[in-house]
Structure 1
Amino acid sequence: MEKIIFICGIYNIGFAIFHTGFWKIFHWNQDLKKLRFENKAIIQILNIQIIYFFLFTAIICFAFPDELLNTAIGKWFLVGNSIFWILRTINQFIFLRSKHFMVHVLTIIFILGSFLFVFPLILN
């Protein structure tokens, strides 16, 4: 089970790295100029905060796998992260309706994340 929790940490590191590339991937230096100052700031602040969340979650997974498996708060942490990815998947269908191949790939990866975080609890 600890290996799966380690993989959860790697999963979050991957998303932290992915989100650091948003400025370049989505041409934010150009596209965000079209938005009002407040909206431009909010988008970037939220992205920076989600990067922090992913890194923090990864560190918790790397540093406290036993606690995540064997304490009530650890189990709730894993369930909470699973719910995070379930909600992310739902939001994908609400806000990012697209037939683009990469959108479908990301949706599958989000679903994988929801299972990845709850899997150790099911098997334990």
Structure 2
Amino acid sequence: MEAQLKLIGWLLIILALLHAGFARYFNWRHEFAAVSLINRQMMYVHTFFIAFTVLLMGLLCLSSAAELVGTPLGRRLALGCSVFWLVRLLIQFFGYSAQLWRGKGFETFVHVVLSGLWSYLSLVFLLVGLA
């Protein structure tokens, strides 16, 4: 399981870094021009902290895989991570409309890949947490 956690660590770091391009890719400058300053800034700040949390989770997996697998505290942390990613998986299906991806090649591909990633993360962390 340590190898799986290290792989997850790299995947989470990549995911965190991808957040840096969200504003440009989703054209937030134009999309948020009509919203208040506080709403615009909250979107940027919350995106930063999501990316930061994902980055820290990735670094934890890379630096402490043995402790996550081999200690009671590590297993509890892994169980918490499992819940985090399971909720994210549920949001993928119940928080976003299928209109955003259905019938669109690239968007459907991303939806499927991310659904698989959230499932993988949830399962590995759950297995570590329950070991």
Indicate whether the TM-score tops 0.5: yes
The answer (yes or no) to whether the contact 1:32–1:40 under 8 Å persists in 2 is yes
Q: Identify the residue that residue 41 of structure 1 maps to in structure 2.
A: 41
Using the size of structure 2 for normalisation, the TM-score is 0.83
Q: In the TM superposition, what whole-angstrom CA distance separates every residue of 1:56-99 from its partner, at most 9, and x where no partner exists?
A: 11111111111111111111111111111110111222321124
In the TM superposition, 1:47-66 aligns within 5 A as 47-66=47-66
**Cα 1:104/1:98, change in 2 over 3 Å:** farther
The CA distance in 2 between the partners of 1:119 and 1:3, in whole Å, is 13
Q: Which residue among 120, 123, 129 is the counterpart of 1:112?
A: 120
Q: Percent identity?
A: 24
* Unpaired stretches in structure 1, ≥5 consecutive residues: none
Q: Identify the residue that residue 16 of structure 1 maps to in structure 2.
A: 16
Give the root-mean-square deviation of aligned CA atoms. Answer: 1.7
Q: In the TM superposition, what whole-angstrom CA distance separates every residue of 1:22-72 from its partner, at most 9, and x where no partner exists?
A: 112211121121222111111111110011111111111111111111111
The answer (yes or no) to whether the contact 2:16–2:54 under 8 Å persists in 1 is yes
User: How many positions carry a matched residue from both structures?
Assistant: 123
Letter in 1 for 2:6: F
Using the size of structure 1 for normalisation, the TM-score is 0.87
Letter in 2 for 1:31: E
Aligned-pair CA distance for 1:108: 2.5
